[in-house]
Structure 1
Amino acid sequence: MQPAEINLPIDPTFDFRSEVPAGRDPDSWSPTLRSYHRLLWSKPLPDGRTFDLTEEGKPGGYFLRHDSALGTFRLTSDTITHRYLRTAVAKQIPAAALPTDIGYTIASALVFPGTRVDGKQTINQARGTHPRIRDRFDLTLECIRRHYQEEDNPLRAVLTRYSSFFELFVDFDGYVDFFLLHDVIGDDGKIAYWHHFDNFTTPPVPNDVDAYLAYRRHTSDFIRARNKRIADATPGIPS
């Protein structure tokens, strides 16, 4: 399937699922998603050095590569918002009552190092399977914040394995600024959690209808806000 024609260098409304075969993961199959990541994240790092990325891989295995004095990094895309439609609580809600599916747009995607270290899990794999994270990006971001502060967190081992990647951004503020993640940060400078949080002791997936619907509202608000932030930040990118 061919990418749909777009009028903007970064079209925040484009749903990457529309250009991949049914049932395939856009993170590894969408050429537009890979191109968007390259356009967005090929830019100066906080210390002024440029983080140039090249598009590599074949359909089903798309990735981005950086190779310079900074190091060699193989980055893969992953979704950072999840609807948890297969959970028991979601199945309690009539389809007509569920929030609108905004689609898999660029605001819902981020890149992480995709090469295994010593045969162990990548960040994407670890955050998806850890019982205290369950793919929640707000919780992942709290782990990253604690990593920069050298504080304990559920993803400490895997984040430490990829410390050379996080060192590129100097500190947590640099990481947030680089990847335009401000819309997960509250006015107080702390993580604006999408569901009740108590130091990783609360269930990561909402287990009652009201909490689930509130979680969905929060993630939808995040997607809309980050889409706008990305569009505002990239008006001059050449297509």
Structure 2
Amino acid sequence: MPTALFPHHHWADADGLSAPDPQLAATGYFRNDPDSDSRNLQRWHQQLWSRRLADGTGLELTSPRRGVLLTDGGIALTSDAAVPAWEHWSQVQALKPETDELVRARGRGSIHQLGWRLYDMGCFLLFPGLQIGRQHTINQARGWTPAIADRLDLTLECIRRYYDELPEASAPELPAGYDLTNPLGPVLHRYRTFFNVFGSFDNYVTFWMLEDLVTDEPGGPQVRFLMPRDESGPYDFQRESGLPRTADAYSEYLIAADDFVQARNRRLAAHAATITRLADPICQACLDTSDGVHQRWTL
């Protein structure tokens, strides 16, 4: 099996291997969690996100121990694979056979092959990793909140609303009903020291290279949702489902998620090419700005 090139997943070291086990990769992903157990992933995070924007906004990261990165402001961050395929979620099992046929027909391989590809660096983010008051971290809340279902686009919508409502959210008590319009609002507010680093939604998006999930609208930046919606207008967390209800919606989400990760891979590769301390070779296909899906690993 070929050596992984940045930004393609190189997390076999989480399992103590130099390359993914083909038999394991054909059915599973990793025995251990790369977010906590991959030295390569942690090193790539540290190299990528020790950076400054034009206005000076940014981070300097150190690696005090496995799975944790520490900012220059003393905030402990942990990695999160933020673009799920839901392959093993019980709520979507009935949809999988038809969905698998649909994504194969679009040339994306099986759900598992597509989900394997979503483990590229383009799917990963850093969030504060230590609990406050024994309450959920952002990573935990994203997965446990049904309205979010671990989706990055819905998480980003909550972050956008957090910044929009920041004057109210910074009051001694959160506004009544805040969690109804922003289900992650309370947990984001608990970690406001982290979000204060970026100061605005625009800076947050730019720093983490999430531009491919955002569109510029007359009223300000809006999140580009990865799953088809049955209605237009502002996203309604009370009525809309975080998980797909049909095979068509599931397949459209997976294809949009695949496109997003590939697009962010290209952004990350372009940035990595400017980092002189990045020792790993960079995937030349990701430095090509033309569209197209390519898969580094052959299972």
Q: Normalized against structure 1, the TM-score is what? A: 0.87
Give 1:125-204 correspondences, 5 Å limit. Answer: 125-150=140-165, 152=178, 153-188=182-217, 189-197=221-229, 198-200=235-237, 201-204=239-242
The equivalent of 1:12 in structure 2 is 7
Name the Cα RMSD after superposition. Answer: 2.1
The equivalent of 1:42 in structure 2 is 50
Partners in 2 of 1:94 and 1:213 — Cα distance? 5
Q: Does 1:120 align with 2:140?
A: no
* Shift of residue 187, structure 1, vs aligned partner: 4.7
Partners in 1 of 2:70 and 2:43 — Cα distance? 12
Amino acid at match of 1:129: W
Contact 1:180 1:229 in 2 (8 A): yes
* Shift of residue 19, structure 1, vs aligned partner: 2.5
Helix, strand or coil: the match of 1:72? coil
- Higher helix proportion (structure 1 or 2): 2
The equivalent of 1:215 in structure 2 is 253
Detail structure 1 runs of 4+ shifted over 4 Å in the superposition. Answer: 4-7
Partners in 2 of 1:49 and 1:222 — Cα distance? 25
Q: Which moved more, 1:48-57 or 1:129-138?
A: 48-57
Contact 2:118 2:258 in 1 (8 A): no
Contact 2:99 2:248 in 1 (8 A): no
Helix, strand or coil: the match of 2:222? coil
Q: Percent identity?
A: 37
Q: Which runs of 5+ in 2 are unaligned?
A: 16-29, 105-109, 167-177, 230-234, 280-299
The equivalent of 1:233 in structure 2 is 271
Amino acid at match of 2:236: N
Q: Which has the larger radius of gyration?
A: 2
Aligned length: 226
Helix, strand or coil: the match of 1:34? helix
Q: Which moved more, 1:211-220 or 1:96-105?
A: 96-105
